[in-house]
Structure 1
Amino acid sequence: MPKIDVHTHFLPEPYIETLVRHDINWTGGVDLDPWTPAAHLRFMDDWGIDVGVLSCLAETGVYFGDQREADELARNVNDIGADVVRQYPRRFGVFGAVPLPGVDSALAELDHIYDDLGLDGVYLVSQVDGTYVGDPKWEAVYDALDKRGATVLLHPVEPKQTPDLPWQHWIGEYVFDTTRVFMTLVFHGVLDRYPHINWILSHGGGTVPYLGHRFAAAPRVVQAYRELVRRPIPEYLRSVYYDVAVADSQVQINTLVDAVGTDRMLFGTDWIYADKLFDHTRTGEHDLTRLLGADAARRVGSDNALRILPRLAERLAAAPR
C-alpha cells in the first residue's frame, strides 16, 4: 500500500512573490525558497513517501487584506497545483486554496477546484482576519462542502491577536488555533449540520485529544453548552480526522490512539516547514510501524487517506506505474 502524506506544502513562485510583496520573508520560522516538484520528490523518496497531498499556505492562506488579490492568488496556485498533479498523477495530490473571507469568491473557487480541476479537496486556514472556521458567516461554504462530501485540511495560521511573547508563535500558538477551530465547529453546530465533510485537524489536532475530557466537562457545568451540543463530546472528537505532522512522538501517538483510534489518524510531515525534523541519522523517528505496529501503520499511512480522497485513489488505481 502507498504511504500518503496528507499534510505537506508547496510554495510556487507566484505565492512567494505575494508574500515578499507583503513584507513576509519568512514563515513559520523557516526561510522561504522556491518550491519545485523535483525537490519535493527527493524528500519523498528519501523517506519512503509515495504520495504528497499539497497545500499552498504560509502565515496565512491567500488573503492578505485584499479580496481581489485573494481571488486571483487562489486561482493561480490552484491551477499550478492541478498542473503538478497532471504531470505526476501517482505522486501528488492537491488541497485547493479557498479565498475566504469572501463567500461568493469562495463558492466560485470551490466550483473551479472540483468541477474544472478535479482536485482532491480543499484546505481552510483556521481563521481569516479573526473569523474562525465554524463561524456562521461562512454557512454557505460549509453547505457547499457538505454537498460535495469534501475533505478539508484545517491548517492553523498566525492568530489575529496574540500575547507579546518572546518566541515564535508556531511553537504554541498555531496548535492552540487548531483547538479553537475545533471548539468553534462543535459549539456552532457545524459538525452536526454538515456530517458529510471530512475535516482533518493538523498537527495531531493541536491540543484537542489531550483536552477532550475538559471539553466534555463544559456541557455538564454550563447550561448554555448543553443546549449547543447534540452528542457526547467524545463523539465529536471521533467525527474528525487528525494528521500526525509534527505530532508523531510516542506520547502524542499514544494520546491520539487512546482518544480517537487509528481509523481517525492520517500520516503527515509538514514538509517543507518541518524539513529540519527529518534527520537521516534518526530515520526510525517517523516510522509508523515502530510507533503503531504493522496493521495500524497501514491504516494511518494509506487506508484512511484513500477512503476520504477518492480522486487520489482513482488515480493510483488507473495511472501506469
Structure 2
Amino acid sequence: MKIALEEHVVFPAFLDYLAHAMPKVTPGVYADIVAQLSDFGERRLAAMDAAGVGRAVLSLSGPGVQIERDTAVALRGARLANDLLATEIQRRPDRYAGFAHLALQDPLGAADELERCVRELGFVGAMVNGHTLGVYLDDPRFAPFWERLEALDVPLYLHPDDSFVKPYVLEGCDELLKPTWEWTFETASHALRLVFAGVFDRYPRARLILGHMGETLPYVLWRLDSRAALTTGNRPLAAPPSHYLRSNVYVTTSGQCADVPLIAALSALGEDRVLFSIDYPYEDSATAARFIENAAIDETVRDKVCRRNAEALLRLPAG
C-alpha cells in the first residue's frame, strides 16, 4: 500500500485561478485535466487502485486564492475550498486526507484557517503555492503563521508556482517556463530563503515538504555549506544550511520517476525523509507506481518511502 501526498483537485469556483498557472495545452487536454481534477469517485479511485495507492492527501490545484488581490475575497475563497474538500474527504475517509488551502494575504487569517482545518476538519497540514503576490514566506509578516504551524505540529507542503517576475534568463526560451525548469529553481530558492532567513532557527519544530525529489536541493548540500561559511551578512545561522534541510525538510517523489534523484535524496536527507507521491493528474499514476516498486532500494526503505514515513509525518492510521 502506498500513500500519495501531492494529489490535486479543483472545484468550479476555482477554475479561473487554475487557468492562470496551467501550461500551454490543447483545449482537449485541458478539459481532460479539469475532469480528472474534479472527480472524487470512480476515475480517481481507479487510478489509485491501479497504482496501489491506499490513501491520497488531496489539495487544491494551485495557485488558487494566493493570486487574488482582494484579501477578503481570498479569505472567503480559501474557506470555501477547504469546506468543499472536507465534504469530499468525509465521503471516503478511508481513502482521502486533506491539505488546507490558505489565503496568505492575511497571515493571521491564514493561521486561523489552518487551525480550523486541522482541529475541526481533520486536515493533516497545508499546501502553499509559492509566493503570495510576490511576498515569500521568509517575510517577517508571516511570523503568526509560522508560530501557528509549529504549535499545530503539522507540515507545510511548499508547491511550485510561477515567478512573480519572469526571470530574465528565461526570456526568449519559453520551453523552460513553468514545470520544465522555472518552477524548480523558483521553489528551491523559496526554500533556501527560509533557511537563510533563520525561519527554522526561530521555529525549530516547523516542517516543510518539497516535491519533485527536493527541487534539486539534495544535490547541493555540501556546496551550500561551503559557500555559506564564506558569506558575510547580518543574519547568522545557528547551524550550516544542510542542517536545516536534513532536520526540517521532507521531500516527495512527485514528478521524479528515476533512481538517481531518489538515491541522492535518500543519501543526502536520510531514509525517513523521503515520501512517495504522484502529482495526480499531472503525472501518470501507473508510471509512478512502477518506478517506486522497482527502484534500486531495499524493501525496508521502500516500505518507508511508500507509506511509513507519511504515516509518521501526517499521523495517519498505520496500514
TM-score normalized with structure 1 length: 0.88
- Taking a change above 3 Å as real, the CA distance of residues 193 and 120 of structure 1, as seen in their structure-2 partners, is same
Measured in 2, the distance between the counterparts of 1:288 and 1:215 equals 32
1:76 aligns with 2:76: no
Deviations 1:215-255 (A, max 9, x none): 11222211227x52111222212111001101231111121
Corresponding residue number in structure 1 for 2:252: 243
Corresponding residue number in structure 2 for 1:14: 13
Measured in 1, the distance between the counterparts of 2:151 and 2:302 equals 31
Instruction: Give the counterpart letter for 1:15 in structure 2.
Output: F
Aligned pairs for 1:6-155 within 5 A: 6-16=5-15, 18-19=16-17, 24=20, 26-27=22-23, 31=30, 32-34=33-35, 35-38=38-41, 39-59=43-63, 62-155=66-159
Corresponding residue number in structure 2 for 1:230: 238
Measured in 2, the distance between the counterparts of 1:139 and 1:177 equals 22
- Taking a change above 3 Å as real, the CA distance of residues 55 and 197 of structure 1, as seen in their structure-2 partners, is same
Corresponding residue number in structure 2 for 1:290: 295
1:259 aligns with 2:268: yes
1:4 aligns with 2:3: yes
Answer with 137-146 or 54-63: which moved more: 54-63
Measured in 1, the distance between the counterparts of 2:207 and 2:126 equals 10
Answer with 107-116 or 149-158: which moved more: 107-116
Q: 1:111 offset after TM fit, Å?
A: 2.7
Measured in 2, the distance between the counterparts of 1:83 and 1:175 equals 32
- Taking a change above 3 Å as real, the CA distance of residues 215 and 61 of structure 1, as seen in their structure-2 partners, is farther
Whether the aligned pair in 1 keeps the contact of 2:196 and 2:241 (CA below 8 Å) is: no
Answer with 66-75 or 292-301: which moved more: 66-75
Question: How many residue pairs get matched?
Answer: 305
TM-score normalized with structure 2 length: 0.88
Q: 1:144 offset after TM fit, Å?
A: 0.8
Q: 1:136 offset after TM fit, Å?
A: 1.5
Q: 1:69 offset after TM fit, Å?
A: 2.0
1:214 aligns with 2:223: yes
Corresponding residue number in structure 1 for 2:162: 158
Once the two structures are aligned, what percentage of the paired residues are identical? Answer: 26
Measured in 2, the distance between the counterparts of 1:177 and 1:70 equals 23
Measured in 1, the distance between the counterparts of 2:113 and 2:227 equals 37
Q: What is the root-mean-square deviation in Å for CA atoms of aligned residues?
A: 2.2
Measured in 2, the distance between the counterparts of 1:190 and 1:26 equals 31
Question: Which segments of 5 or more consecutive residues in structure 2 lack a partner in the other structure?
Answer: none
- Taking a change above 3 Å as real, the CA distance of residues 291 and 56 of structure 1, as seen in their structure-2 partners, is farther
Q: Is the partner of 1:8 in helix, strand or coil?
A: strand
Question: Which segments of 5 or more consecutive residues in structure 1 lack a partner in the other structure?
Answer: none
Q: Is the partner of 2:260 in helix, strand or coil?
A: helix
Measured in 1, the distance between the counterparts of 2:208 and 2:67 equals 21
